[in-house]
Amino acid sequence: MIGARLVRHLRTWLGAWPGSGPGLTVVGSPRRAEPGWDGQPHPIVGVTDADGRGVLSVLPPVADAVRATVGAGELAAVPAAAGIDGRLFIGVFRWSATPAALPDAGEWVAADDPSVPPWLRPFGGDVLVARDPATGEHRAGVGIKRHDAFGCELAVVTVPAAQGRGLGRRLVAQAARRVLADGAVPTYLHAPDNHAAARLAEAAGFPDVGWHVLGSGG
């Protein structure tokens, strides 16, 4: 079941899945011009599996130029070929079918509630918030990047004073259970050198199976 959800998510998010052959298949998708989870378009998005096969989704007018660049093995030049300033970001792509059986750690609150920390408000919908039981102060939270009806990326932040206590992993597992109950697949993305995020993901039930995400960065 989770595999079918993941395929539907990638087909919707990227415009195609799987690719048409080995390596990266470049597709032109009108989705790249549409607002993403944050209201802004994301002109380069890609996912590769453990064998390096995958789909790189770009705007239709630049697809041929990007395809030639990828075919020449010049991944770093993809943003320039797409007419975008910046670099190509390659991160770790994880998902979970069975979140860790950790106790809940937060409560769901509407993102526009006055009590919600500013960084969580742009996610919209409901966000997951953990507060200090004694003071009511915000300790950690999870926002959901709703890429489409089939895939939701989780983003977590824990204040420095509350780090190292397993709070973040409990919140991510709790949020993942909600996403699964809603019929979507929960994903978790991070930079390859973000070891703290990697440990949290593993503990929350998001294994690293060798998949990667690609996108344009600063």
Give the pLDDT confidence score for residue 160 in this predicted structure: 85
pLDDT in tens, 2-28: 799 999 999 999 999 999 989 999 999
User: Which CATH entry fits the domain spanning 107-209: 3.90.79.10, 3.40.630.30, 3.40.50.720, 3.40.640.10?
Assistant: 3.40.630.30
The residues, ordered by sequence, that sit 6+ positions from 60 with a Cβ below 8 Å of its Cβ are: 28, 29, 30
The domain limits of the chain are: 2-94, 107-209
Give the pLDDT confidence score for residue 218 in this predicted structure: 63
* pTM listed for this prediction: 0.95
Between CA 147 and CA 73 the distance in angstroms is 29
pLDDT in tens, 110-151: 999 999 999 999 999 999 999 988 888 889 999 999 999 999
Give the pLDDT confidence score for residue 1 in this predicted structure: 65
